[in-house]
Amino acid sequence: MDATEKKKLKLLDGMATHVLEHGLSGASLRPLAKAVGTSDRMLIYHFGSKDRLIESLLVHIAGKLKLDLDANLPPRRARSRMECVAEILAVLSRAEIAPFARVWFDILSAAQKGDPVQKRIGHEIMASLHGWLVERLAEDETDAPATAMALLALIEGLVVLNAVGHGEAAAASIHLLLGPSA
């Protein structure tokens, strides 16, 4: 990796921190630049345009999320669906994840609006989560990929409901779909 790439990575790290704190929508070049000690002029110089900067930034943030989850999710197989979901939920419920959720909804909004770049990034984030679920499901699941996809839907729904204040009630009810936790 040459110096240019290293510099870009450093900028992306700083901007990611800023976006995770202040949200993606409404993030404009001048505050972003100030957060990393440079100017809007230089951000355009390095990334070409704001659109390309945002794309790089989202990929970078998705990578950070993946690293975080990898570091905090035990790689062992669960004994049950409920246990599997509970472990993922425990990781996703930490305070450090909330800023990611904020950005996640921005990605979903753009994707639903038709933005192909953000839809692709969102697709990959979900594919990544799906992969984790597949690897952590109990071995006696007959159709692990499909089961993981269904559990993923449940988890994403919990994230949504949590955003509007139904999180606790929803989390307390999922055992009705998943059976006992043991």
Q: Is 43 near a second copy (CB under 8 A)?
A: no
Contact 61, 16 (CB under 8 A): yes
Q: Is 25 near DNA (CB under 7 A)?
A: no
178 burial via Cβ count (<10 Å: 0-12, 13-18, 19+): middle
List all residues 6 or more positions away from 147 whose beta carbon is below 8 Å from its beta carbon.
Answer: 81, 137, 141
Q: Is 122 near a second copy (CB under 8 A)?
A: yes
Choose the contact partner of 156 out of a second copy, DNA, none; CB within 5 to 8 A by kind.
a second copy
Choose the contact partner of 51 out of a second copy, DNA, none; CB within 5 to 8 A by kind.
DNA
Query: Which of 95, 168, 159, 94 lies closest to 125 in space, CA to CA?
Result: 159
Nearer to DNA, 51 or 96 (CB): 51
Single out the residue of 101, 117, 134, 138 in contact with a second copy (rule: CB under 8 A).
Answer: 101
Single out the residue of 59, 105, 117, 134 in contact with a second copy (rule: CB under 8 A).
Answer: 105
